[in-house]
């Protein structure tokens, strides 16, 4: 079974964990490390003969336009991660509409691809802002991968379906981040910090359960900064935030090498049949 491999293209200083100590007006003062990290991810994917979907932040694309072209030229899907990593819960419908339209237009101009996919920063679509779905459809998106269908202290929509569903009558597909049900609880096995937290043999078993028991493709996500154990440390952040962000960074590349060989992977649009 083919699973969907995805990369949320943002840099280390733009994450939710550091939002309280790094203001976006100061972003230009931080070293931009995303290009070298994306290069490493692309090399890993090429060496294993797989393609994936890159949800790219417009702020990054404006500063690294050649990187966007490089990703597209390598055969990967280009998708939107918004403009400034604003959580949808902090935007009005009008602000959200402007955000998703600008990012889509910019990425299409740079990549030469039609952008049909969107992922909300910090999985910030939930029961409070379902108005985001018609805005996405109106802007020309065919799918979203913006809901974590479980409990988390920073995000989540526990009552959401675990697998792709259509929240609108006119066809927009929501593809939730992968979870697995164990003893009545939903455990995340979609990637990110949980990929670094669970021992790899356990993580592999969870994905195998989704494929074999549920008979469904899994969605894996990661960030370029997760392959960068030498990134600058943000000492002002809370202990909890630093633990989450820096946990097992040195293990990510070897774990990715195992993950890419243990499972079959492809782009979101192809795994879910969203392009003709």
Residue 196: inside a domain, yes or no? no
Identify the CATH number of the domain in which residue 248 sits: 3.20.20.370
- Of 66, 63, 7, nearest to 40 (Cα)? 7
Q: What is the pTM of this model?
A: 0.97
Residue 128: inside a domain, yes or no? yes
Q: Are 176 and 160 in contact (CB under 8 A)?
A: yes
Q: Which domain holds residue 144?
A: 2-176+222-271
Mean pLDDT of the chain: 95
Share of the chain above pLDDT 70, in %: 99
**Mean per-residue pLDDT for 31-40?**
98
**Mean per-residue pLDDT for 117-132?**
96
Report pLDDT for 169: 79
Residue 73: inside a domain, yes or no? yes
Report pLDDT for 191: 95
Report pLDDT for 11: 98
Residue 190: inside a domain, yes or no? no
pLDDT score of 153 more than 70: no
Residue 165: inside a domain, yes or no? yes
Residue 189: inside a domain, yes or no? no
pLDDT score of 276 more than 70: no
Query: Any long-range contacts for 199-205 (C-beta under 8 Å, 24+ apart)?
Result: 200/251, 200/255, 200/258, 200/259, 203/255, 203/259, 204/258, 204/259, 204/262
**Mean per-residue pLDDT for 50-66?**
98
Share of the chain above pLDDT 90, in %: 91
Residue 67: inside a domain, yes or no? yes
Domain count for the chain: 1
pLDDT score of 156 more than 90: no
**Mean per-residue pLDDT for 240-247?**
94
Report pLDDT for 263: 98
Residue 198: inside a domain, yes or no? no
168-185: pLDDT as tens digits? 877 899 999 999 998 888
Q: Which two tokens stand for residue 188?
A: 């995340």
4-15: pLDDT as tens digits? 999 999 999 999
pLDDT score of 146 more than 70: yes
């Amino acid at each position: 079974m083919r699973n969907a491999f995805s990369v949320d293209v943002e840099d280390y200083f733009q994450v939710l964990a550091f939002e309280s100590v790094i203001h976006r007006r100061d972003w230009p003062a931080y070293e931009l490390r995303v290009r070298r990290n994306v290069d490493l991810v692309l090399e890993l994917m090429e060496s294993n003969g797989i393609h994936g979907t890159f949800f790219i932040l417009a702020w990054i694309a404006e500063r690294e336009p050649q990187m966007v072209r490089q990703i597209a030229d390598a055969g990967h899907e280009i998708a939107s991660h918004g403009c400034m990593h604003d959580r949808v819960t902090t935007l009005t419908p009008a602000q959200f509409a402007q955000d998703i339209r600008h990012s889509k237009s910019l990425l299409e101009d740079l990549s030469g691809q039609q952008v049909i996919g969107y992922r909300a920063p910090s999985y910030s679509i939930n029961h409070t802002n379902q108005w985001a779905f018609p805005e996405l459809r109106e802007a020309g998106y065919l799918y979203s991968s913006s809901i974590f269908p479980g409990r988390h202290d920073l995000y989540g929509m526990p009552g959401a379906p675990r697998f792709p569903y259509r929240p609108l009558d006119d066809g927009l597909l929501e593809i939730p981040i992968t979870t697995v049900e164990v003893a009545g609880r939903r455990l995340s096995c979609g990637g990110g910090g949980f990929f670094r937290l669970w021992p790899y043999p356990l993580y592999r078993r969870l994905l195998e359960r989704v494929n074999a028991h549920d008979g469904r493709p899994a969605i894996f996500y990661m960030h370029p900064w997760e392959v960068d154990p030498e990134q600058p440390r943000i000492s002002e952040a809370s202990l909890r935030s630093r633990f989450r962000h820096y946990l097992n960074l040195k293990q990510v590349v070897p774990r990715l090498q195992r993950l890419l060989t243990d499972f079959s992977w492809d782009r979101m649009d192809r795994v879910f049949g969203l392009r003709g």
